Amino acid sequence: MTQQTSRPADPFVIAGRTFRSRLMVGTGKFPSSQALKEALAGCDAEIVTVALRRADLNNPSGDSILSVIDPKRHLMLPNTSGARTADEALRLAKLARAAGCEPWVKLELTPEPRYLLPDPIETLRAAEMLIKEGFIVLPYIQADPILAKRLEELGTATVMPLGAPIGSNRGLKTRDMIRIIIEQAKVPVVVDAGLGAPSHAAEAMELGADAVLVNTALADATDHEAMGRAFALATEAGRIAYRAGLGPERSTAEASSPLTGFLNKL
C-alpha cells in the first residue's frame, strides 16, 4: 500500500466542508505580523482563529491581522475570547459575522483569568443559542466526555477539549479523558490548548484526534516558519500513524533480531 493511494481516503470534514490541513493555528501573541505570516507559511494552515476587540482610537490604521490572513487560503475562525457569559459570546459571534466572517465561531467562555479554563454550563447554553442563530459552533471545553457528548447532541460541529491550560505548553495532561472523548465522539475532536511541542500534537493525533489547534508554541518560537513546519509535520505524522496501526505497549522486551541461529559459543 502506498501513501499516494491511502492519503486521499482521509478527508478532514467539519460541517460538510473539507480541509486539507489538520493543524489549526491561533494568531495571538506573535511578536509581529511578519512572524505570524512566516508561521502560517511554515505550517500551511487553513483554519486560523482570530479575536475581536475594541479598535484603538489612537491608532486607526494600526497593523491589522487582516493584512496577514488570505481569504483564498485561510478560513478565518473568530473566537469569543473575553466573553464570560453566553450572551456576551453571542454578541461577539454576531459582530464577527457582521464584519464579514462566515458564520463559524470558536466558542470560548473562560470566566477566570489565571487558568482561562472553560465554563461547562455557560458554554452549553451559548452553544444552544449560537446554533439557533445559524452559527457553526466549535466549542473549547474541559476534557469532559459527558459534556462533549451533550454538545455533540446539541449540534456543535466539533468538540475542542483542552490538553492543558492555554499557553502552558504542558502537553496532553488530560490524555485519559481525551481518549474517551475520541472513542465516543461522532463529530471531529480537535485538541486545543496546552500543546507546546510537535510531539504533543503527534501524540494527540495518534490517539485518534481529528485535528489540533496550536498558538503559543508557534508565537514563542525563535524561528516561526520552522516551528510552523515542525507542527505541521508532526500533526501529519500522528495522523498517518493512527491510520497505519500502532503496536501495543509491552511490559517486557521483544527481540528485534532473531533469537535463533546463533553461532557456536566461544
Q: Which residues bind another protein (CB under 8 A)?
A: 26-30, 36, 49-55, 57, 60-61, 64-66, 76, 78-79, 81, 91, 94-96, 98-99, 166-167, 193, 213, 215-216, 255-258, 261, 263-264, 266
Q: Does 36 bind its own copies (CB under 8 A)?
A: no
Find the catalytic residue in 29, 106, 149, 186.
Answer: 106
Q: Is 94 a catalytic residue?
A: no
Q: Does 33 bind its own copies (CB under 8 A)?
A: no
Q: Rounded CA gap, 132 and 126, in Å?
A: 10
Q: Rounded CA gap, 210 and 98, in Å?
A: 30
- Secondary structure (3-state) at 56: coil
Q: Does 153 bind its own copies (CB under 8 A)?
A: no
Q: Does 97 bind its own copies (CB under 8 A)?
A: no
Residue type at position 12: F
Q: Rounded CA gap, 102 and 100, in Å?
A: 7
From the list its own copies, another protein, none, which binds 78 (C-beta under 5 to 8 Å, kind-based)? another protein
Q: Does 199 bind its own copies (CB under 8 A)?
A: yes
Question: Which residue, 130 or 242, is less far from another protein as judged by CB?
Answer: 130
From the list another protein, its own copies, none, which binds 57 (C-beta under 5 to 8 Å, kind-based)? another protein
| Minimal distance, residue 172 CB to another protein, in Å | 17
- One-character DSSP codes across 166-225: TT-----TTHHHHHHHHHH-SS-BEEES---SHHHHHHHHHHT-SEEEE-HHHHT-SSHH
Q: Give the alpha-carbon dihedral of 144, 163, 19, 51, to 10 degrees.
A: 90
CB 43 within 8 Å of CB 218: yes
Q: Rounded CA gap, 51 and 70, in Å?
A: 16
Q: Which of 14, 45, 107, 118 binds its own copies (CB under 8 A)?
A: 118
Give the binding-site size for its own copies (rule: CB under 8 A). 111
Q: Which of 13, 66, 99, 244 binds its own copies (CB under 8 A)?
A: 244
Active site residues: 106
